[in-house]
Amino acid sequence: MSPETASTTYRRNHLFLLLLIGFISVVSSDELESLLNLKTALGESNTKVFDSWRPDNSVCNFTGITCDDSGSSVKEIDLSNQNLTGSIPFDSICQLQSLEKLSFGFNRLHGSVTEDLNKCSRLTYLDLGNNIFSGPIPDISSMNGLLYLYVNSSGFSGTFPWSSLENMTSLIVLSVGDNPFDQTPFPMQVLKLLNLNWLYMANCSIGGEIPAGIGDLTELIDFELSTNYITGEIPKEISKLVKLWQLELFANNLTGKLPVGLRNLTKLQRFDASTNYLEGDLSEIRFLTQLTSLQLFENKFTGEIPPELGEFKHLVNLSLYRNQLTGTLPPQLGSWSDFNFIDVSENFLTGQIPPDMCKNGKMTELLILQNNFTGEIPASYSDCKTLTRFRVSNNMLSGVVPSGIWGLPKAEIIDIATNDLEGGITSNIENAKTLAQIFAAHNRLSGELPQEISMATSLNMIDLSHNQISGKIPATIGELSQLSSLHLDNNKFTGEIPKSLRSCGSLSDINMAYNSFSGQIPAALGSLPTLNSLNLSYNQLSGQIPSTLSSLRLSILDLSDNKLAGPIPESLSVDAYNGSFAGNPGLCSQKVSYFRQCSPSSSDTSGVIRTVITCFSVGSAVILIFLAYSCYLKKKSQNDDEARSLKEDSWNIKSFHVLSFMEDDILDAINEQNLIGKGGSGQVYRASLKNGVELAVKHIRNSDSGHRKRKHSGKQKSLEFDAEVETLSSIRHVNVVKLYCSITSEESSLLVYEYLPNGSLWDRLHTSKKLGLDWETRYGIAVGAAKGLEYLHHGCERPVIHRDVKSSNILLDEYFKPRIADFGLAKIVQTDSTDGSTHVIAGTHGYIAPEYGYTYKVNEKSDVYSFGVVLMELVTGKKPMEAEFGENKDIVFWVCSKLKNKETVLSLVDSSIPEVYKEDTIKVLKIAIMCTSRLPALRPTMRTVVKMLEDAEPCKLLNIIITKDDDGKKKTDKILS
Ligand SMILES: *[C@@H]1O[C@H](CO)[C@@H](O)[C@H](O)[C@H]1NC(C)=O
Ligand SMILES: *[C@@H]1O[C@H](CO)[C@@H](O)[C@H](O)[C@H]1NC(C)=O
Ligand SMILES: *[C@@H]1O[C@H](CO)[C@@H](O)[C@H](O)[C@H]1NC(C)=O
């Protein structure tokens, strides 16, 4: 049914129903009308709940309706969780004189709620929670009999009407959290609500301190104030809340110690004060024997973990990571209950791993990374079939790894790296069907890799480097089709590198350095489509370098210190791979000067001179321009024999005269009036063709034109330029600017691009052409630009490193969809810059990755850095360099200096971005921070950046139902995975 016919039908039905109203007698016709009004208002809902709402049925028999005892008046409307959409007609509903309960929770109701709501003055129960309303909650002060009030996660904004609560002293449940309210100090009205059992005020912008008066709310069972801006100490009066079952204070700015008296909360089962600035010891916890979940991670707690924790009979979750705790874990810990989860990583804990945490067979995660634990891995964990993550890296564990650990059937990560562990990877691994990652580097593992490793088919990362593993790599390794990273370096492997690796189609990173591999490098490695890093250095490999490696898009290639011989394949003889071949006295090269020259017979002749002029994906107009301009160029290069001979192929134009006005078009365009941009690499003009097509033409003057003595290098440049342009011409991506055509001569080069009317992101963020770009647009630009770069890095035949990613190289089309522009140009121009001419800048100040400072070996990760800077511009609205950052300080420094607490972080966000989006912007800022890690290896790939950005999609109000992170696990995963 089309929406139109649907609504007509509704209207007709409605009319029909109204006609029938007169015949209904059980309940007053007013009540029926109110309900039918409601049905109409929510008529678009995809629900069956209204099927019974027919005039021929009794109102008291409507689904979701309860009448009072006399059966004559509607007392309750409960339409929660019915997939309702629409806005509620409170004016009509509040006419139901006996209405006491109104429950609309867990729907998709929208619109603003009018003052009419206050007419429902007899309500004892009001639930509007988990919807997508907008605007503020109106005054509800008439509802003095209210017992239950739920408006959590409903999209309401503005100021909550706290003063309405003044006389609502019967209130038992007050649930207002997870709404983007304006920031407010702790509302004192709440302290009068002495009957409150349940107070949910998490994530709704409450600041200031927790008042001492909280101690008056002695009926509280649940008190949740997490994810706010609370400062100061936890007041000692909290100890009066002796009925508390759950206390949630995480993600605030609390300081000081756990108050003396907290011990009185003996009924407390769940306590979460993680991610604050709390200090002191945990001695108050000793008495909280009923605890099931204790989450105090990311604080500044010191001292020992109370031994009493080992006696807690119900404890199932313990998360204390990132504190400064010392001492040991109680040996009995987790042995009583269905213990599930421990994360005490990043403390200074010593002693042994408690052996019985999986006694009841329920444990899923054992995380004790980065402490000083000693002793062996208890054999009991071999049988812990429920474990998904076993992470004990960076400790001082010793002894043999129990063989069953390798075969844990649910394990996803086994991380034992950087200990003093012995033993080998055992054939039990055949049972590890879900195992994705093994981190075992820096131990003393020995023995051979078992063939059965091939049966752990989920493996995508294997890091066994810096051990003493020997023997051959089993050929079955080829069956690991998910494998993307294989680090076996610094072991005692022998034998050949298995050809079967070719079948690991996801491999992107191979490091087998410092072993005793021999034989030839398998040519099959060249067919790994995503291989990005290959390190086979310091082995005994012999024979020639397979030419198949030329087809790889490697950012790291290290074959040094082997016994390789013969010619280095031409395409690998480039600057980026300098040093990749050292220590192989048998190698020779035509191009790399510090190698012996190959004898003529072995020289690679692939470097055939190609045409100087290329054009691609040509619309007819572009062909015309190209031909016309070629002609123009030809005139200018009469005396260049070579160029002339090269152009002869393309020079069979039939009708030159028809084209002559096109020549005017393009040449006319290259004048001051049409100048639309000036960059390090040349000037950009806008060309409006007579047929209405608009193009951007970039004019680059070659610096060494006329330098006869350097003619040879000029030719080299021309070839490289040509090759580069050819690569770029094959790029087809919506987020990369289209290059229609390139034309070069000895004097200058001309690049013809699509024209983008909205200029550059830089202009729109920072100049007089500044627009108030809203967050969703900025987010769209971030994702689009990331996809463009992802394509350049991972989607092309050869990776294209942009080397000058910046907001002025991100252009915007009429819909503000971004295009990466000027790719590779810096590089092209740079090869021509040996005379030190000033227009050559590899990258732009403020965007340049730190590694540029000490190495010319830039790879994709340098682009990732620059992109991180662009993300920071989008979030903060600041330029990469601003005076306010301090002398010589850039945006990356500035952002990092503000990561102290939530307030300072939020202060980074562009003030023009509305409050609702702040959380979303922070997600993007986090990605920006990762992208700008100092060490290239720590930066994500653009592929990962795209994924992360997509996960950070702004919660439109529709998605605002925030799922509470209820035991901190997810947080842990994020930090430690
Ligand atoms: C809720 O309604 C939407 C849109 O009308 C529909 O796509 C969805 O399947 C419905 N969900 C349920 C659980 O009925
Ligand atoms: C109540 O509704 C059900 C189902 O809609 C119907 O079968 C029944 O006859 C109704 N009872 C009354 C008293 O109207
Ligand atoms: C609360 O009750 C007092 C005393 O009856 C009255 O003066 C005040 O206006 C009431 N407050 C609200 C918000 O209704």
Give the residue from 586, 604, 606, 605 showing the smallest Cα distance to 596: 586
Q: How far is ligand 2, taken at its centre, from the CA of residue 292, in Å?
A: 47
Q: Which is the closest atom of ligand 2 to the Cα of 51? A: 5
Q: What is the pLDDT of residue 834?
A: 34
Residue 630 scores a pLDDT above 60: no
What φ, ψ does residue 104 adopt, rounded to 5°?
-120, 20
The pLDDT value given to residue 666: 64
Ligand 1 mean position, distance from CA 83 (Å)? 6
Tell me whether residue 804 is one of the annotated catalytic residues: yes
What pLDDT, on the 0 to 100 scale, is given for residue 721?
57
Report the distance separating Cα 58 and Cα 28, nearest Å.
11
For residue range 187-217, what is the model confidence (pLDDT) as tens digits?
999 999 999 999 999 999 999 999 999 999 9
Task: Read off the amino acid at residue 823.
Answer: F
- Give residue for tokens 């005793």: 516
Q: Confidence class of residue 676 from pLDDT cuts 50, 70 and 90?
A: confident
| Ligand 2 center–CA 135 separation, angstroms | 39
Could you report the per-residue pLDDT of 437-446, keeping only the tens digit for each?
999 999 999 9
Boundaries of every domain in the chain: 605-642, 649-754, 761-976
The bound ligand whose nearest atom lies closest to the alpha carbon of 65 is: 2
Say if residue 797's pLDDT is above 70: no
Q: Is the CB of 530 under 6 A from ligand 2?
A: no
Structure confidence at residue 358 (pLDDT): 96
Element (H, E) at 279: strand 279-280
Between 102 and 894, the higher pLDDT residue:
102
Q: What is the pLDDT of residue 695?
A: 78
Q: Name 882's Cβ contacts closer than 8 Å, sequence gap at least 6.
A: 891, 894
Q: Are 303 and 282 spatial neighbours (Cβ–Cβ below 8 Å)?
A: yes
Is 80 exceeded by the pLDDT of residue 225?
Answer: yes
Identify the pLDDT of residue 51: 92
Name the residue of 83, 84, 85, 107 whose CB sits within 8 Å of the most ligand 1 atoms, as the mutation to test its pocket. Answer: 83
> Which ligand 2 atom is nearest residue 52's CA?
5
Q: For ligand 3, is residue 163 a contact (CB within 6 Å)?
A: yes
Q: Is the CB of residue 52 below 6 angstroms from any atom belonging to ligand 2?
A: yes
Taking CA atoms, 640 is separated from 260, 475, 667, in Å, by 90, 57, 22
- Closest ligand to 61 CA? 2
* CA–centroid distance for 675 within its chain: 39
3-state secondary structure 748-797: EEEEEEECCCCCEHHHHHHCCCCCCCCHHHHHHHHHHHHHHHHHHHHHCC
Query: Across the strands, what pairs with 687?
Result: 695
Helix (H, G, I), strand (E, B) or coil at 586: strand
Residue nearest to atom 11 of ligand 1 (CA): 83
- 61 C-beta closer than 6 A to ligand 2: yes
Q: Pocket of ligand 1, candidates 42, 44, 45, 46: which has the most ligand atoms within 8 Å of its Cβ, to mutate?
A: 46
Question: β-strands 229-231, 540-543: how paired?
Answer: unpaired
- pLDDT for 744 equals 61
141 Cβ below 6 A of ligand 3: yes
Any atom of ligand 1 within 6 Å of the Cβ of 46: yes
Give the residue among 944, 917, 918 at the shortest CA–CA distance from 930.
944
In 416-517, the DSSP E strands lie at: 420-422, 437-439, 461-463, 470-471, 485-487, 492-493, 509-511
Q: Got the DSSP string for 651-664? A: G--S-HHHHHHHHH
Hey, what are 828's tokens?
A: 């092209």
818 DSSP β-pair partners: 812
605 lines ligand 1 (CB under 6 A): no
Q: Which of 665, 804, 822, 910 is catalytic?
A: 804
Distance in angstroms between the alpha carbons of the first and the last residue of the chain? 49
Domain with residues 649-754, CATH architecture? 2-Layer Sandwich (3.30)
- CB-based contact 849:868 (threshold 8 Å): no
Would you say domain 761-976 falls under CATH 3.10.180.10?
A: no
Strand-strand pairing, 614-615 and 586-588: unpaired
Question: Is any ligand 3 atom within 6 A of the Cβ of residue 167?
Answer: yes
pLDDT tens digits for 509-523?
Answer: 899 999 999 999 999
